[in-house]
Amino acid sequence: MKPYSQLSKEELTALKEELEKQFEDVKGKGLKLDMSRGKPSKAQLDLSNGMMDILNSQVDLVSSDGVDCRNYGILDGISDARKLLADMSEVPERNILIYGNSSLNVMFDTVARAMTHGFLGSTPWCKLDKVKFLCPVPGYDRHFGITEFFGIEMINVPLLPTGPDMDMVEKLVAEDPAIKGIWCVPKYANPTGISYSDETVRRFAHLKPAAEDFRIFWDNAYSIHHLYDDKRDVILELLNECVKAGNPDMVLKFISTSKVSFPGSGIAALAASEANLEDAKKYMRVQTIGHDKLNQLRHVRFFKDMQGMYAHMRKHADILRPKFEKVWEVLDRELAGLEIGTWTKPVGGYFISFDSMEGCAKAIVAKAKEAGLVLTGAGATYPYGKDPKDSNIRIAPSFPTVEELEVAVEIFVLSVKLVSIDKLLE
Ligand code: PLP
């Protein structure tokens, strides 16, 4: 296929006419398709239905460490749940604290806690003139939503194939004591799907921030979410690297079983140094008498151990893989060689990241909507919703069926082609 930029004005105009006809045809079908959010499909949710049969009035609701899960008590989680989530986070049990149903909630609470009380006795952030966070971009819109909510200034840091631009991260954190944190999704990042290299993880562990209360917010939401058995990303475990580097308190690791069991009804946890967990518990003790232990019990009885969870994740992969492959098949077939977009091919996670020609993303999302396809808003993957190049679009293939995806991606590529032609004809 010839790059669009090499076509003459006349060729582009003729092509546009032909593509517009195709677009009007699909538009006429009155479709309603959604590739906007990384939600598991019904078939994926069904995989965990057995969990609903595990607890009933006939079974013993006492955990293996003798806790009656129906009652108050046990602030940091029943021991089996601590073991499971510690294994999932690749940390010793002493470094895990079980929370409620959502890791995003834990991240929000952690920033709120730093604002009002500071970390480990440091000045509460709300008393400082300025608090800043580094935001690798493109990134997760809800991370940026938390820091924006608290009035924290966000600084874009380019996300490279190896992780955030570490030259920039090292320089900025060393120079500016107002920089208190960085948002990271180290494995199968949302939305690019890249995983951080060993060198990146080590450089994180060896950071020398000017702020003593600087924290790496390490959101390992997709830690075991592989698409393939034979192609998998493996990342270095950061807490251990930080301990080795003499910086044990610099990292806060967040995790949940949202996309393992049920989003919104899973278990979330914080993995960190014992000092950081003790600090978090001071807050938690006032906040709650304890989280949902029946849900913890249900999860440990259903998965048993990490082997059980890995086997379960393979079933998720079997459902997700054909969907990713369908998206890539259509993108490769329709767009390869046209030089009007690039897209990622991760081996895990929930997203494909698409970069259009500069200045086209908003128009592509709007165009697709005309034909009934909802995409994540352009700009959402950047702090303040502002993509400086207006080119990044997050594609979430998990929720629609393969058949729906085929049509959805056809609409997407038609939208990309039409908007790109308009740009070239400007
Ligand atoms: N972190 C990332 C990177 C996500 O993509 C998501 C959901 O899409 C979450 C966290 C939400 O996690 P939870 O359901 O545990 O709040």
- Asked whether 263 lines ligand 1 (CB < 6 A), one says yes
The domain boundary, picked from 260, 284, 304, lies at 304
Q: Does 244 map to a domain?
A: yes
Q: Are residues 125 and 226 in the same domain?
A: yes
Q: What is the predicted pLDDT for the residue at 43?
A: 97
Q: Does 56 map to a domain?
A: no
pTM score, whole prediction: 0.97
Q: What is the predicted pLDDT for the residue at 183?
A: 98
The domain boundary, picked from 273, 304, 335, lies at 304
Q: Are residues 240 and 288 in the same domain?
A: yes
- Asked whether 219 lines ligand 1 (CB < 6 A), one says yes
Distance 349 CA to ligand 1 centre (A): 11
**Which residue among 36, 99, 135, 140 is best mutated to probe the pocket of ligand 1, counting the most ligand atoms within 8 A of its Cβ?**
140
- Asked whether 376 lines ligand 1 (CB < 6 A), one says no
- Per-residue 3-state assignment (H helix, E strand, C coil) for the chain: CCCHHHCCHHHHHHHHHHHHHHHHHHHCCCCCEEECCCCCCHHHHHCCCCHHHHCCCCCCCECCCCCECCCCCCCCCCHHHHHHHHHHHCCCHHHEEECCCCHHHHHHHHHHHHHHHCCCCCCCHHHCCCCEEEEEECCCHHHHHHHHHCCCEEEEEEEECCEECHHHHHHHHHHCCCEEEEEECCCCCCCCCCCCCHHHHHHHHCCCCCCCCCEEEEECCCCCCECCCCCCCCCCCHHHHHHHCCCCCCEEEEEECCCCCCCCCCCEEEECCHHHHHHHHHHHHHHCCCCCHHHHHHHHHHHCCHHHHHHHHHHHHHHHHHHHHHHHHHHHHHHCCCCCEEECCCCECCCEEEEECCCCHHHHHHHHHHCCEEECCCCCCCHHHCCCCCCEEEECCCCCCHHHHHHHHHHHHHHHHHHHHHHHHC
Which candidate, 43, 39, 136, 46, places its Cα nearest to that of 396?
A: 39
């990490």: which residue's tokens?
A: 306
- Asked whether 268 lines ligand 1 (CB < 6 A), one says yes
Q: Does 101 map to a domain?
A: yes
Residues 252, 107: Cα–Cα separation, whole Å: 9
Residue nearest to atom 1 of ligand 1 (CA): 221
| ipTM of the complex as predicted | 0.99
Q: Does 49 map to a domain?
A: no
Divide the 426 residues of the chain into consecutive groups of 10 and give the mean pLDDT of each group.
94 97 94 92 98 94 96 95 98 98 98 98 98 98 98 98 98 98 98 98 98 98 97 97 98 98 97 98 96 98 98 98 98 98 98 98 98 95 97 97 95 98 96
Which candidate, 114, 120, 75, places its Cα nearest to that of 98?
A: 75
Distance 19 CA to ligand 1 centre (A): 37
Q: Does 347 map to a domain?
A: yes
Q: Which two tokens stand for residue 85?
A: 């989530």
CATH number at residue 260: 3.40.640.10
The domain boundary, picked from 249, 274, 304, lies at 304
Q: Are residues 193 and 285 in the same domain?
A: yes
Q: Are residues 220 and 249 in the same domain?
A: yes
Q: Are residues 16 and 73 in the same domain?
A: no
Residue nearest to atom 2 of ligand 1 (CA): 221
Q: What is the predicted pLDDT for the residue at 37?
A: 85
Distance 223 CA to ligand 1 centre (A): 11
Which candidate, 390, 381, 393, 388, places its Cα nearest to that of 358?
A: 390
Q: Are residues 288 and 396 in the same domain?
A: no
Q: Does 243 map to a domain?
A: yes
Give the structural domain span for 22: 4-44+310-425
Distance of CA 182 to the CA centre of its chain: 14
Q: Are residues 90 and 202 in the same domain?
A: yes
Q: Are 232 and 212 contacting, i.e. CB atoms less than 8 angstroms apart?
A: no
Residues 108, 130: Cα–Cα separation, whole Å: 19
Q: Are residues 255 and 321 in the same domain?
A: no
Return contacts of 166-172, CB within 8 angstroms, 24+ apart: 166/199, 166/200, 166/203, 166/204, 169/134, 169/203, 169/204, 169/207, 170/203, 170/207, 170/208, 172/134
Distance 370 CA to ligand 1 centre (A): 29
The tally of domains found in the chain comes to 2
Residue nearest to atom 8 of ligand 1 (CA): 38
Distance 90 CA to ligand 1 centre (A): 18
Q: Are residues 288 and 333 in the same domain?
A: no
Q: Are residues 155 and 272 in the same domain?
A: yes
Distance of CA 94 to the CA centre of its chain: 26
**Which residue among 142, 147, 187, 399 is best mutated to probe the pocket of ligand 1, counting the most ligand atoms within 8 A of its Cβ?**
142
**Which residue among 107, 137, 256 is best mutated to probe the pocket of ligand 1, counting the most ligand atoms within 8 A of its Cβ?**
256
Q: Are residues 115 and 164 in the same domain?
A: yes
Q: Are residues 293 and 321 in the same domain?
A: no
Q: Does 276 map to a domain?
A: yes
Q: Does 51 map to a domain?
A: no
